[in-house]
Chain A
Amino acid sequence: MESRSHAGVVESTLPKHQLLDERGAVTEDDLLSPYTQDITVDDLQHLYRSMTKARRVDEEGTSLQRQGQLVLWVPLKGQEAAQIGSTWPTRPTDRLYPSYREHAVAFERGVEPSELMRYFRGHTAGGWDPEKHNLNLYTVVLGSQAPHAVGYAMGTALDRKAAEDAGTPLETEPEAVVAYFGDGASTEGEVHESMVFAASYDAPVLFFIQNNQWAISVPFATQSRVPLATRAAGYGFEGLRVDGNDILAVVAATRYALAKIRRGEGPVLIEAETYRMGAHTTADDPTKYRKREEEDQWGLLDPIERLKEHLRTAHGVADSFFETVAQENDDLARRMRADVLAMTPPEFVDRFEHVYAEPHALVAAERAEYLEYQAGFEDASDVHGTAAEGVGA
């Protein structure tokens, strides 16, 4: 009964799209090549910057956690192309719904690394203003954000229809919504239901799956016999399989999907096949469940190395560029570290502020009780440490 060796792993006939091969050379793809024609060297350099920035912040995150400065860190190493490649083609008006590993998505959407670190420092369950970045907060209960994305997408379509019905059609381009989740989360029932809803209402939503081959210690074969992209057909919409370590393929597939979604043709699913090169989180030990050889194999497919090779060989980008970017990233990591260390810890009493949007008698009463109780420690502030001192203020 071990699902890992189950009888049914089915060879898929779905093509796996690729535009940059393992050595960074351009390959042709009938469907997707047209979607990269206008990409300039500047664009590629931007993508490289974004990917390496995310990786550098990731390294710093792990190191801060090891030093006890973060309660947890969730490494993204290996998934930079999948994340940046799917975010960069979106418009600021397209709402994104991340899971909890999408740091590169957040940075590409303008979230400051130190803002995001407030979450991992245990200072907040959120971290940024979702409206400002048009980026939902991290959702840790797996798959829960998928129906949210679909509902938001339904709302954008309803708005357009209302405007049309009123005789004042919107002149802006239709919005698209992106739901991010992983191979493991794809098993959750809510993900399935969200796909049914999306199909039912032609919701303008892109389901973007990062299949990084593992859900903590559970290999992909336990979740599915087929590539997840093939499931889309069962719901009645298109599913694309892309090499998730190929930034160009991810960008092109995302552009293709967003164009289709904006034309009102309903949802699209992209499965980016990638690899979690690091541990699941800083609390995880991958040596318990996966082989070094597998990690080494995927190490050869590093998405950053691939783009770097492409920039060098196809565009003659000089070493100085890469050195400058590395320097910028180091500076950024240093600033972020300083910001993290300088963060003001939250005050517990503030937790009472946002439980409800409107006044609530029980919360008000418990807040008063808490303050009264804390006041009893005024002469013995050591009991609750420093946080107790600010409570009365």
Chain B
Amino acid sequence: MSRLTIAKAITAGLARAMDEDPKVMLMGEDIGSLGGVYRVTEGLKARFGAHRVLDSPLGEAGIVGTAVGLAQRGYRPVCEIQFDGFVFPAFNQITTQVAKLHARSEGRMKMPMTIRIPYGGVIGSVEHHSESPEALFAHTAGLRIITPSNANDAYWMEQQAIACDDPVIIFEPKRRYWLKGEVDESAPPGDPFSASVIREGRDATIVAWGPLVPVALAAANAAAEDGRSVEVVDLRSISPIDIDTITASVRKTGRLVIAHEAPTFGGIGGEIAARVTEQAFYSLEAPVLRVGAFHLPYPPAAVEEHYVPDLDRVLDALDRTFAY
């Protein structure tokens, strides 16, 4: 057991994957000497060498595109995209090549690639550094998408993504990089493509992921003071969605609030709401509610707290579901 920040848990997870499999290699902008702008790869170049930790030229299409070729050659590349808003030069490669090669080759070609993307806002930065683009990728078949919310998951989900024979995008909650937690190095927490009930409750369910998980827990705590017992599900996997865990929770509580940082319109919350409605309609005692950002470009830092859902917004949704 170690007590690590999420960032250091990722570093440790990457190091272990590199130790265990010589084909695992890292590539990205500033990930070598600097150790990444968030220092997530700090020390790895010194430890594993410049041939396994590539300080790449400045091109995201190049990073992901060459990773495709490396994967075809038997490597397991782990690409770092420096910030969420800078993944789009690689969007073509990710959606038209990475996602489709297995199907195009009728299963002959595997694409064991990992793409790490620090995501989310409330870090007080400038444009393109605070976005939550998970839905844009989830819409594409062939990509697995996961997002850890705590150090233990971060440590293991990185390794599980690397070991997976499908391409996996890991959205890393950058504003929680410094959040500490216990990491149990002895055994993985189970299927990375599953959701997890992290707080039990009877009266309502909150589903959240990545950076909003601590907010959901805080909301459950606040609700408990008002005598409401709220269950919290950490979604963990955005594609596939572990809908069974969510419906099981809703069958118990009858009320569902989904909270994410991305805009509500066209977001993953809508997908979850539709599926829960289809599968657990008669268990619902109120409409499924979504809490997300507005249909606006991510705003300047001075007003970002009005855009990204916070504790009050989640509590407001709980109030509304209970009032229904």
Summarize A's interface: helix, strand, loop or mixed.
loop
Q: Are B37 and A189 in contact (CB under 8 A)?
A: no
Q: Are B89 and A71 in contact (CB under 8 A)?
A: no
A residues less than 8 Å from B29 (CB atoms) = 215-216, 218
Which of A1, A119, A376, A384 is B126 in contact with, Cβ under 8 Å?
Answer: A119
Q: Are A363 and B296 in contact (CB under 8 A)?
A: yes
Q: Are B33 and A289 in contact (CB under 8 A)?
A: yes
Q: Are A185 and B316 in contact (CB under 8 A)?
A: no
A248 part of interface (Cβ distance < 8 Å): no
B residues less than 8 Å from A347 (CB atoms) = 303
Interface residues on B, range: 35 or more
B193 part of interface (Cβ distance < 8 Å): no
A residues less than 8 Å from B85 (CB atoms) = 140-141
A213 part of interface (Cβ distance < 8 Å): no
Which of B33, B55, B300, B302 is A3 in contact with, Cβ under 8 Å?
Answer: B55
Q: Which of B138-146, B250-258, B305-313 contacts A (4 or more CB under 8 A)?
A: B305-313
Q: Which of A169-177, A270-278, A333-341, A348-356 contacts B (4 or more CB under 8 A)?
A: A348-356
B residues less than 8 Å from A134 (CB atoms) = none
- Contacts A122-B126, A362-B265 given; does A370 touch B306 at CB 8 Å: yes
A212 part of interface (Cβ distance < 8 Å): no
Cβ < 8 Å to B, chain A residues 3-17:
3-4
Q: Which of B58-66, B107-115, B220-228, B229-237 contacts A (4 or more CB under 8 A)?
A: B58-66
Q: Are B58 and A223 in contact (CB under 8 A)?
A: yes
Q: How far is the CA of A4 from the CA of B45 in the complex (A)?
A: 14
Q: How far is the CA of A142 from the CA of B88 in the complex (A)?
A: 11
A residues less than 8 Å from B35 (CB atoms) = 288
Q: Are B127 and A140 in contact (CB under 8 A)?
A: yes
Q: Are B59 and A188 in contact (CB under 8 A)?
A: yes
B residues less than 8 Å from A218 (CB atoms) = 29-30, 55-58
Q: Are A222 and B57 in contact (CB under 8 A)?
A: yes
Summarize B's interface: helix, strand, loop or mixed.
loop
A152 part of interface (Cβ distance < 8 Å): no
Interface string of A85-105 (1 = CB under 8 A from B): 000000000000000000000
Q: How far is the CA of A142 from the CA of B90 in the complex (A)?
A: 13
- Contacts A1-B51, A71-B124, A187-B58 given; does A216 touch B37 at CB 8 Å: yes
B residues less than 8 Å from A345 (CB atoms) = 302-303
Q: How far is the CA of A234 from the CA of B152 in the complex (A)?
A: 51
Cβ < 8 Å to A, chain B residues 166-205:
none
**From residue A392, how far is it (CB to closest CB) to chain B in Å?**
14
**From residue A323, how far is it (CB to closest CB) to chain B in Å?**
36
Cβ < 8 Å to A, chain B residues 259-318:
265, 294-297, 299-303, 305-307, 312-313, 316
Q: Are A351 and B299 in contact (CB under 8 A)?
A: yes
Q: Are A384 and B57 in contact (CB under 8 A)?
A: no
Q: Which residues from chain A sit less than 8 Å from chain B, CB to CB?
A: 1-4, 71-72, 119-125, 140-143, 184-190, 215-218, 222-223, 283, 288-289, 345-348, 351-352, 355, 362-363, 366, 370, 373, 376-377, 383-384, 387
Mind listing 13 A-B residue pairs with CB under 8 Å? A2-B50, A140-B127, A140-B128, A141-B88, A187-B59, A218-B30, A222-B55, A289-B34, A346-B303, A348-B303, A348-B307, A355-B297, A387-B303
Q: Which residues from chain B sit less than 8 Å from chain A, CB to CB?
A: 29-30, 32-35, 37, 50-51, 54-62, 85-86, 88-89, 124-128, 265, 294-297, 299-303, 305-307, 312-313, 316
